[in-house]
């Protein structure tokens, strides 16, 4: 025997059920997003991890008595399911690991000091674009300080004290007077062809014990 329930009765039952479940959902959300407000500023002496960010390491049992099943969460087979140290970090089963497959970085990060840049570089085309955008004055003398203040060269960290070298990529229509520590041959020719000038300024002398002793 089938009992048919009117649609109005079904909607009434659903509204009652949703009203009963609503306080539980609000309570759980309020517990998860609870944040303690404090007027104290963050300092080194009051820094601490957020609640729940650091958890204790799972204690793996040994057998059925631990209540974690026969394998206690370590699986049934394989090297990591056996006793002992297991595999090292980065081990990929014997195949060539990722840190050996990827190419190495240039410069000091890759262990090759010869790959570190010796100059801050700017192209002739960059100077022309800066003049067109009114970032630098074509009639003024252009130096490394001018390029830094105009935002054409961003020298921070290791690059802060590097000398400037002008390269010849791009075209130049304005006769610019540029002072730099080095010029490529094409850059010097393009500057001279546009009616400008390339003035080479001496770079900062590298410190050495012999030079310091000779200066004394």
pLDDT of residue 33: 42
Q: Within 13 A of 144's CA, how many CA atoms are on the CB side?
A: 22
pLDDT digits (tens, 9 = 90+) for 97-140: 998 898 777 666 666 666 678 899 999 999 999 999 999 988 88
Give the pTM: 0.48
Mean pLDDT, rounded, for 53-69: 87
Question: Sign of torsion, CA 77 80 85 91?
Answer: positive
pLDDT at 85: 83
Coil vs helix vs strand at 146: helix
Q: How sure is the predictor about 180, in pLDDT bands with cuts at 50, 70 and 90?
A: very high
Q: Give buried/exposed letters for 16-28 (b at 16+ CB in 10 A, else e).
A: eeeeeeeeeeeee
CA distance to 12, 29, 77, per residue, from 22 (Å)? 15, 11, 45
- Report whether pLDDT(5) > 80: no
Q: How confident is the model at residue 30 (pLDDT cuts 50, 70, 90)?
A: very low
49 vs 26, which has greater pLDDT? 49
Residue 157 CB contacts under 8 Å (≥ 6 apart), including other chains: none
Q: Are 76 and 82 a contacting pair, CB within 8 Å?
A: no
- Using CB atoms within 10 Å of the CB of residue 97, give its burial: 0 to 12 exposed, 13 to 18 middle, 19+ buried: middle
pLDDT at 82: 84
Per DSSP, the residues of 1-64 read: ------HHHHHHHHHHHHHHHHHHHHHHHHHHT------PPP-GGG--PPTTTS-PPP---SSG
Domain 115-200: assigned CATH number: 3.100.10.10
Residue 12: the pLDDT is: 56
In whole angstroms, how far apart are CA 164 and each of 172, 175, 191, 204? 18, 19, 16, 11
Report the SS3 class of residue 165: strand
Per-residue pLDDT, 29 = 42
Confidence tier at 156 by pLDDT (50, 70, 90): confident
Closest CA to 126 of 92, 160, 170: 170
Lowest mean pLDDT: which of 41-55, 77-91, 170-184?
Answer: 77-91
């Amino acid at each position: 025997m089938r009992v048919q329930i009117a649609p109005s009765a079904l909607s009434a039952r659903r509204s009652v059920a949703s009203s009963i479940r609503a306080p539980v959902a609000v309570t759980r959300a309020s517990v998860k997003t609870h944040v303690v407000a404090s007027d104290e500023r963050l300092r080194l002496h009051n820094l601490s991890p957020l609640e729940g960010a650091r958890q204790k390491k799972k204690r793996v049992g040994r057998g059925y008595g631990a209540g974690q099943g026969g394998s206690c969460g370590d699986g049934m087979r394989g090297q990591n399911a056996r006793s002992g140290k297991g595999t090292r970090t980065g081990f990929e089963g014997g195949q060539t690991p990722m840190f050996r497959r990827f190419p190495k970085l240039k410069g000091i990060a890759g262990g090759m000091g010869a790959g570190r840049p010796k100059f801050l570089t700017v192209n002739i085309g960059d100077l022309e674009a800066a003049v067109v955008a009114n970032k630098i004055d074509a009639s003024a003398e252009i130096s490394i300080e001018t390029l830094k203040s105009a935002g054409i060269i961003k020298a921070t960290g290791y690059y802060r004290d590097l000398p400037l070298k002008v390269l010849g990529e791009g075209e130049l229509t304005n006769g610019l007077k540029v002072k730099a520590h080095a010029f490529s041959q094409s850059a010097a020719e393009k500057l001279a062809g546009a009616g400008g000038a390339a003035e080479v300024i001496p770079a900062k002398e590298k410190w050495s014990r012999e030079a310091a002793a000779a200066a004394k």
